[in-house]
Amino acid sequence: MTAEKRALESPETIFSLEEVGVAFGSVVALREVSCVVAKGELVGLVGPSGSGKTTFLRCLNGMVSPSAGAVRVLGLEMGALADASLRDLRARLGFIPQDLGLVPNLRVVQNVVTGRFGKQGFFGALKSSLFPDRGEKGRAFSILKRVGIGEKIFERTDRLSGGQQQRVAVARALYQRPEAILADEPVSSVDPARARDTVSLLTEVAKEEGMTLMMSLHNLELAREFFPRLIGLRGGRVAFDAAADALPAGAFERLYSLSEEELLG
Ligand SMILES: Nc1ncnc2c1ncn2[C@@H]1O[C@H](COP(=O)(O)OP(=O)(O)O)[C@@H](O)[C@H]1O
Ligand SMILES: [Mg+2]
Protein backbone atom coordinates (compact mmCIF):
# COMPACT_ATOMS: atom_id res chain seq x y z
CA MET A 1 0.00 0.00 0.00
CA THR A 2 1.34 3.45 -0.85
CA ALA A 3 2.25 5.95 1.87
CA GLU A 4 -0.38 8.30 0.49
CA LYS A 5 -3.13 5.68 0.88
CA ARG A 6 -1.97 4.73 4.35
CA ALA A 7 -2.23 8.35 5.36
CA LEU A 8 -5.94 8.20 4.50
CA GLU A 9 -6.37 5.27 6.86
CA SER A 10 -6.69 5.71 10.60
CA PRO A 11 -7.53 3.46 13.55
CA GLU A 12 -11.11 4.46 12.79
CA THR A 13 -10.98 2.94 9.29
CA ILE A 14 -13.42 0.07 8.84
CA PHE A 15 -13.18 -0.58 5.11
CA SER A 16 -10.44 0.29 2.72
CA LEU A 17 -10.26 -0.62 -0.94
CA GLU A 18 -7.19 0.17 -2.97
CA GLU A 19 -7.37 -0.05 -6.75
CA VAL A 20 -9.68 -3.03 -6.51
CA GLY A 21 -10.60 -4.90 -9.64
CA VAL A 22 -12.98 -7.85 -9.90
CA ALA A 23 -13.47 -9.95 -13.00
CA PHE A 24 -15.83 -12.86 -13.59
CA GLY A 25 -14.25 -14.51 -16.59
CA SER A 26 -14.32 -11.86 -19.28
CA VAL A 27 -16.84 -9.68 -17.40
CA VAL A 28 -15.17 -6.91 -15.42
CA ALA A 29 -17.45 -6.07 -12.49
CA LEU A 30 -15.20 -3.56 -10.68
CA ARG A 31 -12.26 -1.50 -11.95
CA GLU A 32 -9.72 0.47 -9.96
CA VAL A 33 -12.08 1.08 -7.07
CA SER A 34 -10.47 2.93 -4.17
CA CYS A 35 -12.15 4.27 -1.06
CA VAL A 36 -11.82 4.43 2.70
CA VAL A 37 -14.81 4.21 5.04
CA ALA A 38 -14.49 5.23 8.69
CA LYS A 39 -16.25 3.87 11.75
CA GLY A 40 -19.78 5.20 12.08
CA GLU A 41 -20.12 6.43 8.50
CA LEU A 42 -23.40 5.92 6.67
CA VAL A 43 -22.65 5.34 3.01
CA GLY A 44 -25.20 4.92 0.25
CA LEU A 45 -24.03 2.99 -2.79
CA VAL A 46 -25.91 3.93 -5.95
CA GLY A 47 -25.71 3.05 -9.60
CA PRO A 48 -27.67 1.32 -12.35
CA SER A 49 -28.14 -2.45 -12.51
CA GLY A 50 -24.90 -4.17 -13.36
CA SER A 51 -22.75 -1.26 -12.16
CA GLY A 52 -21.06 -3.43 -9.52
CA LYS A 53 -22.91 -2.61 -6.28
CA THR A 54 -23.41 -6.21 -5.17
CA THR A 55 -19.84 -7.13 -6.13
CA PHE A 56 -18.54 -4.15 -4.13
CA LEU A 57 -20.41 -5.24 -0.98
CA ARG A 58 -19.44 -8.88 -1.45
CA CYS A 59 -15.77 -7.88 -1.65
CA LEU A 60 -16.13 -6.31 1.77
CA ASN A 61 -17.28 -9.50 3.44
CA GLY A 62 -14.98 -11.78 1.51
CA MET A 63 -17.62 -13.50 -0.62
CA VAL A 64 -15.81 -12.24 -3.71
CA SER A 65 -12.02 -12.11 -4.09
CA PRO A 66 -10.60 -9.25 -6.10
CA SER A 67 -8.47 -10.05 -9.12
CA ALA A 68 -6.48 -6.85 -8.51
CA GLY A 69 -5.81 -4.47 -5.65
CA ALA A 70 -6.29 -4.87 -1.93
CA VAL A 71 -9.27 -4.92 0.43
CA ARG A 72 -8.78 -4.28 4.15
CA VAL A 73 -11.64 -4.79 6.57
CA LEU A 74 -11.42 -3.91 10.28
CA GLY A 75 -7.67 -3.69 9.86
CA LEU A 76 -7.28 -7.12 8.21
CA GLU A 77 -6.02 -7.79 4.72
CA MET A 78 -8.80 -9.90 3.16
CA GLY A 79 -6.59 -11.66 0.62
CA ALA A 80 -4.35 -13.03 3.38
CA LEU A 81 -7.03 -14.53 5.63
CA ALA A 82 -7.39 -18.25 6.27
CA ASP A 83 -10.95 -19.62 6.20
CA ALA A 84 -11.33 -19.56 9.99
CA SER A 85 -10.22 -15.94 10.25
CA LEU A 86 -12.54 -15.01 7.42
CA ARG A 87 -15.43 -16.60 9.34
CA ASP A 88 -14.50 -14.64 12.46
CA LEU A 89 -14.35 -11.47 10.45
CA ARG A 90 -17.73 -12.13 8.83
CA ALA A 91 -19.23 -12.58 12.28
CA ARG A 92 -18.26 -8.96 12.96
CA LEU A 93 -20.18 -7.77 9.88
CA GLY A 94 -23.92 -7.99 9.41
CA PHE A 95 -24.84 -8.77 5.81
CA ILE A 96 -28.36 -8.23 4.51
CA PRO A 97 -28.59 -9.75 1.03
CA GLN A 98 -30.90 -8.50 -1.68
CA ASP A 99 -33.32 -11.40 -1.24
CA LEU A 100 -33.04 -11.02 2.58
CA GLY A 101 -31.95 -14.67 2.92
CA LEU A 102 -34.68 -15.61 5.42
CA VAL A 103 -35.91 -19.19 5.79
CA PRO A 104 -39.62 -18.78 5.00
CA ASN A 105 -41.05 -21.71 6.96
CA LEU A 106 -39.16 -20.97 10.18
CA ARG A 107 -40.50 -18.75 12.92
CA VAL A 108 -39.28 -15.18 13.14
CA VAL A 109 -37.25 -15.88 16.29
CA GLN A 110 -35.47 -18.77 14.55
CA ASN A 111 -34.45 -16.55 11.65
CA VAL A 112 -33.23 -13.85 14.02
CA VAL A 113 -30.96 -16.09 16.07
CA THR A 114 -29.22 -17.45 12.97
CA GLY A 115 -27.52 -14.02 13.06
CA ARG A 116 -24.98 -15.78 15.29
CA PHE A 117 -24.00 -18.31 12.63
CA GLY A 118 -20.46 -17.04 12.24
CA LYS A 119 -19.76 -16.91 15.97
CA GLN A 120 -21.13 -20.29 17.03
CA GLY A 121 -20.03 -22.48 14.18
CA PHE A 122 -22.52 -24.35 12.08
CA PHE A 123 -23.92 -26.90 14.55
CA GLY A 124 -24.23 -24.46 17.43
CA ALA A 125 -26.07 -22.04 15.21
CA LEU A 126 -28.29 -24.78 13.80
CA LYS A 127 -29.24 -25.89 17.30
CA SER A 128 -29.98 -22.40 18.57
CA SER A 129 -31.85 -21.49 15.43
CA LEU A 130 -34.14 -24.51 15.75
CA PHE A 131 -34.37 -24.51 19.56
CA PRO A 132 -33.43 -21.07 20.84
CA ASP A 133 -33.06 -21.03 24.64
CA ARG A 134 -34.67 -18.51 26.99
CA GLY A 135 -31.79 -16.07 26.86
CA GLU A 136 -31.64 -16.19 23.07
CA LYS A 137 -35.40 -15.66 22.80
CA GLY A 138 -35.21 -12.76 25.25
CA ARG A 139 -32.55 -10.99 23.26
CA ALA A 140 -34.33 -11.68 19.97
CA PHE A 141 -37.51 -10.23 21.49
CA SER A 142 -35.85 -7.02 22.60
CA ILE A 143 -34.33 -6.53 19.14
CA LEU A 144 -37.63 -7.33 17.42
CA LYS A 145 -39.30 -4.75 19.65
CA ARG A 146 -36.57 -2.30 18.67
CA VAL A 147 -37.40 -2.81 14.99
CA GLY A 148 -41.13 -2.57 15.69
CA ILE A 149 -42.32 -6.18 15.31
CA GLY A 150 -41.95 -7.65 18.81
CA GLU A 151 -45.39 -9.20 18.62
CA LYS A 152 -44.38 -11.26 15.55
CA ILE A 153 -41.66 -13.20 17.35
CA PHE A 154 -43.34 -16.62 17.07
CA GLU A 155 -45.05 -16.13 13.70
CA ARG A 156 -43.97 -18.07 10.69
CA THR A 157 -41.73 -15.77 8.70
CA ASP A 158 -43.58 -16.29 5.40
CA ARG A 159 -46.83 -15.04 6.99
CA LEU A 160 -45.29 -11.57 7.37
CA SER A 161 -45.61 -8.74 4.87
CA GLY A 162 -42.63 -7.70 2.75
CA GLY A 163 -41.90 -4.72 5.00
CA GLN A 164 -42.06 -6.88 8.13
CA GLN A 165 -39.72 -9.45 6.56
CA GLN A 166 -37.23 -6.64 5.93
CA ARG A 167 -37.41 -5.88 9.63
CA VAL A 168 -36.70 -9.52 10.45
CA ALA A 169 -33.59 -9.33 8.25
CA VAL A 170 -32.52 -6.14 10.03
CA ALA A 171 -33.12 -7.80 13.42
CA ARG A 172 -31.08 -10.84 12.37
CA ALA A 173 -28.16 -8.57 11.44
CA LEU A 174 -28.43 -6.66 14.74
CA TYR A 175 -28.61 -9.88 16.78
CA GLN A 176 -25.05 -10.52 15.70
CA ARG A 177 -23.89 -7.26 17.39
CA PRO A 178 -21.96 -6.35 14.24
CA GLU A 179 -19.44 -3.55 13.94
CA ALA A 180 -20.74 -2.74 10.49
CA ILE A 181 -23.77 -3.64 8.40
CA LEU A 182 -23.62 -4.22 4.67
CA ALA A 183 -27.05 -4.14 3.09
CA ASP A 184 -27.57 -4.98 -0.57
CA GLU A 185 -30.69 -3.28 -1.89
CA PRO A 186 -32.74 -4.56 1.03
CA VAL A 187 -35.64 -2.31 0.07
CA SER A 188 -35.92 -3.00 -3.63
CA SER A 189 -38.93 -5.30 -3.38
CA VAL A 190 -41.42 -3.19 -1.41
CA ASP A 191 -43.44 -0.05 -2.02
CA PRO A 192 -41.78 3.35 -1.47
CA ALA A 193 -43.39 4.00 1.94
CA ARG A 194 -42.19 0.65 3.33
CA ALA A 195 -38.77 1.20 1.77
CA ARG A 196 -38.53 4.55 3.51
CA ASP A 197 -39.45 2.98 6.87
CA THR A 198 -36.73 0.37 6.59
CA VAL A 199 -34.00 2.77 5.43
CA SER A 200 -34.98 5.17 8.17
CA LEU A 201 -34.88 2.40 10.77
CA LEU A 202 -31.50 1.05 9.66
CA THR A 203 -29.83 4.45 9.55
CA GLU A 204 -31.32 5.39 12.93
CA VAL A 205 -30.10 2.19 14.61
CA ALA A 206 -26.67 2.54 13.02
CA LYS A 207 -26.38 6.11 14.32
CA GLU A 208 -27.51 5.13 17.81
CA GLU A 209 -25.02 2.26 18.02
CA GLY A 210 -22.17 4.10 16.28
CA MET A 211 -22.23 1.31 13.69
CA THR A 212 -20.95 1.71 10.14
CA LEU A 213 -23.60 1.16 7.46
CA MET A 214 -23.09 0.65 3.74
CA MET A 215 -26.24 0.14 1.75
CA SER A 216 -26.83 -0.13 -1.95
CA LEU A 217 -30.11 1.28 -3.09
CA HIS A 218 -31.88 2.28 -6.25
CA ASN A 219 -34.00 5.01 -4.78
CA LEU A 220 -31.96 8.16 -5.22
CA GLU A 221 -34.28 10.30 -3.11
CA LEU A 222 -33.87 7.98 -0.14
CA ALA A 223 -30.13 7.80 -0.74
CA ARG A 224 -29.84 11.56 -0.62
CA GLU A 225 -32.12 11.93 2.38
CA PHE A 226 -30.61 9.30 4.67
CA PHE A 227 -26.94 8.92 3.69
CA PRO A 228 -24.48 11.74 4.31
CA ARG A 229 -22.01 10.15 1.89
CA LEU A 230 -22.84 8.69 -1.51
CA ILE A 231 -20.70 6.55 -3.76
CA GLY A 232 -21.90 6.31 -7.35
CA LEU A 233 -20.83 3.35 -9.48
CA ARG A 234 -21.04 3.17 -13.22
CA GLY A 235 -19.61 0.35 -15.30
CA GLY A 236 -17.70 -0.90 -12.26
CA ARG A 237 -15.92 2.41 -11.66
CA VAL A 238 -16.44 5.00 -8.96
CA ALA A 239 -18.16 7.86 -10.79
CA PHE A 240 -18.42 9.98 -7.64
CA ASP A 241 -17.72 9.70 -3.94
CA ALA A 242 -19.05 12.77 -2.23
CA ALA A 243 -21.07 14.26 0.57
CA ALA A 244 -24.74 13.98 -0.37
CA ASP A 245 -25.22 17.72 -0.04
CA ALA A 246 -22.16 18.46 -2.17
CA LEU A 247 -22.88 16.27 -5.20
CA PRO A 248 -22.13 18.07 -8.45
CA ALA A 249 -25.24 19.02 -10.41
CA GLY A 250 -26.35 16.25 -12.75
CA ALA A 251 -24.24 13.58 -10.99
CA PHE A 252 -27.15 11.13 -10.72
CA GLU A 253 -28.34 11.79 -14.26
CA ARG A 254 -24.87 11.07 -15.63
CA LEU A 255 -24.75 7.87 -13.60
CA TYR A 256 -27.90 6.56 -15.24
CA SER A 257 -27.42 7.89 -18.75
CA LEU A 258 -25.84 5.73 -21.40
CA SER A 259 -22.73 6.90 -23.13
CA GLU A 260 -22.55 6.95 -26.92
CA GLU A 261 -20.22 3.95 -26.82
CA GLU A 262 -22.69 1.98 -24.73
CA LEU A 263 -25.58 2.92 -26.98
CA LEU A 264 -23.71 1.84 -30.07
CA GLY A 265 -22.59 -1.37 -28.33
N1 LIG B 1 -21.01 -14.44 -10.10
C2 LIG B 1 -20.94 -13.75 -11.25
N3 LIG B 1 -20.58 -14.36 -12.40
C4 LIG B 1 -20.50 -13.68 -13.57
N5 LIG B 1 -20.77 -12.38 -13.70
C6 LIG B 1 -21.15 -11.70 -12.59
C7 LIG B 1 -21.26 -12.36 -11.32
N8 LIG B 1 -21.66 -11.43 -10.40
C9 LIG B 1 -21.78 -10.27 -11.06
N10 LIG B 1 -21.48 -10.43 -12.38
C11 LIG B 1 -21.47 -9.35 -13.41
O12 LIG B 1 -20.74 -8.26 -12.88
C13 LIG B 1 -21.36 -7.02 -13.19
C14 LIG B 1 -21.71 -6.29 -11.91
O15 LIG B 1 -22.74 -7.01 -11.25
P16 LIG B 1 -23.32 -6.62 -9.83
O17 LIG B 1 -22.21 -6.40 -8.89
O18 LIG B 1 -24.33 -7.67 -9.47
O19 LIG B 1 -24.04 -5.21 -10.13
P20 LIG B 1 -25.28 -4.51 -9.41
O21 LIG B 1 -25.39 -5.08 -8.04
O22 LIG B 1 -24.92 -3.05 -9.43
O23 LIG B 1 -26.48 -4.80 -10.25
C24 LIG B 1 -22.55 -7.36 -14.06
O25 LIG B 1 -22.15 -7.28 -15.40
C26 LIG B 1 -22.86 -8.80 -13.69
O27 LIG B 1 -23.48 -9.48 -14.75
MG1 LIG C 1 -27.00 -6.00 -7.08
- Does some domain include residue 129? yes
Is the same domain home to 26 and 107? Answer: no
Lowest model confidence (mean pLDDT) among 11-20, 197-206, 250-259: 250-259
Is the same domain home to 83 and 112? Answer: no
Span 213-238, average pLDDT: 95
Considering only CA atoms, which residue is closest to atom 2 of ligand 1? 24
186 lines ligand 1 (CB under 6 A): no
Choose one of 130, 160, 177: the last residue of a domain. 177
Span 18-41, average pLDDT: 96
Is the same domain home to 172 and 207? Answer: no
58 lines ligand 1 (CB under 6 A): no
49 lines ligand 1 (CB under 6 A): yes
**Band of the pLDDT at 14, cuts 50, 70, 90?**
very high
Range of the domain at 50: 1-92+180-265
The closest-lying atom of ligand 1 relative to the alpha carbon of residue 58 is 17
What is the number of other CB atoms lying within 10 angstroms of the CB of residue 149?
22
Of 20, 22, 24, which is best to mutate to test ligand 1, by the most ligand atoms within 8 angstroms of its C-beta?
24
The predicted structure's pLDDT at residue 249: 83
Choose one of 177, 202, 232: the last residue of a domain. 177
51 lines ligand 1 (CB under 6 A): yes
Ligand with the closest atom to the CA of 97:
2
Considering only CA atoms, which residue is closest to atom 26 of ligand 1? 50
126 lines ligand 1 (CB under 6 A): no
Q: How many domains does the chain have?
A: 2
Is the same domain home to 173 and 186? Answer: no
**Band of the pLDDT at 215, cuts 50, 70, 90?**
very high
Ligand with the closest atom to the CA of 184:
2
**Band of the pLDDT at 190, cuts 50, 70, 90?**
confident
Cα separation, 144 vs 48, whole angstroms? 33
Ligand with the closest atom to the CA of 98:
2
Lowest model confidence (mean pLDDT) among 31-45, 73-87, 165-179, 250-264: 250-264
Lowest model confidence (mean pLDDT) among 160-174, 188-202, 229-243: 188-202
The predicted structure's pLDDT at residue 27: 95
13 lines ligand 1 (CB under 6 A): no
Span 220-242, average pLDDT: 95
Is the same domain home to 194 and 108? Answer: no
The predicted structure's pLDDT at residue 139: 92
Is the same domain home to 37 and 116? Answer: no
pLDDT for 197 beyond 80:
yes
Residue 92 makes CB contacts below 8 A (sequence gap 6+) with 74, 178, 179, 180
The 3-state secondary structure of the chain, one letter per residue: CCHHHHHHCCCCEEEEEEEEEEEECCEEEEEEEEEEEECCCEEEEECCCCCCHHHHHHHHCCCCCCCEEEEEECCEEHHHCCHHHHHHHHHCEEEECCCCCCCCCCEHHHHHHHHHHHHHCHHHHHHHHHCCCHHHHHHHHHHHHHCCCHHHCCCEHHHCCHHHHHHHHHHHHHHCCCCEEEEECCCCCCCHHHHHHHHHHHHHHHHHHCCEEEEECCCHHHHHHHCCEEEEEECCEEEEEEEHHHCCCCHHHHHHCCCHHHHHC
Q: Are 214 and 183 in contact (CB under 8 A)?
A: yes
Q: Of all residues in the chain, what percent carry a pLDDT higher than 90?
A: 65
Span 5-20, average pLDDT: 82
256 lines ligand 1 (CB under 6 A): no
- Does some domain include residue 97? no
Is the same domain home to 5 and 83? Answer: yes
Which residues lie across from 44 on neighbouring strands? 215, 230
pLDDT digits (tens, 9 = 90+) for 117-138: 555 566 666 666 667 788 888 9
CA of 52 to the centre of ligand 2 (A): 7
Choose one of 177, 199, 226: the last residue of a domain. 177
pLDDT for 61 beyond 60:
yes
Span 22-29, average pLDDT: 96
The predicted structure's pLDDT at residue 133: 80
pLDDT for 262 beyond 80:
no
Q: Are 16 and 39 in contact (CB under 8 A)?
A: no
**Band of the pLDDT at 84, cuts 50, 70, 90?**
confident
53 lines ligand 1 (CB under 6 A): yes
The predicted structure's pLDDT at residue 261: 57
Is the same domain home to 85 and 1? Answer: yes
Is the same domain home to 161 and 33? Answer: no
The closest-lying atom of ligand 1 relative to the alpha carbon of residue 22 is 12
Single-letter code of the amino acid located at 8: L
Is the same domain home to 201 and 79? Answer: yes
State the chain's mean pLDDT as an integer: 88
Is the same domain home to 66 and 165? Answer: no
Identify the CATH number of the domain in which residue 36 sits.
3.40.50.300
27 lines ligand 1 (CB under 6 A): yes
Q: Are 147 and 198 in contact (CB under 8 A)?
A: no
Is the same domain home to 82 and 125? Answer: no
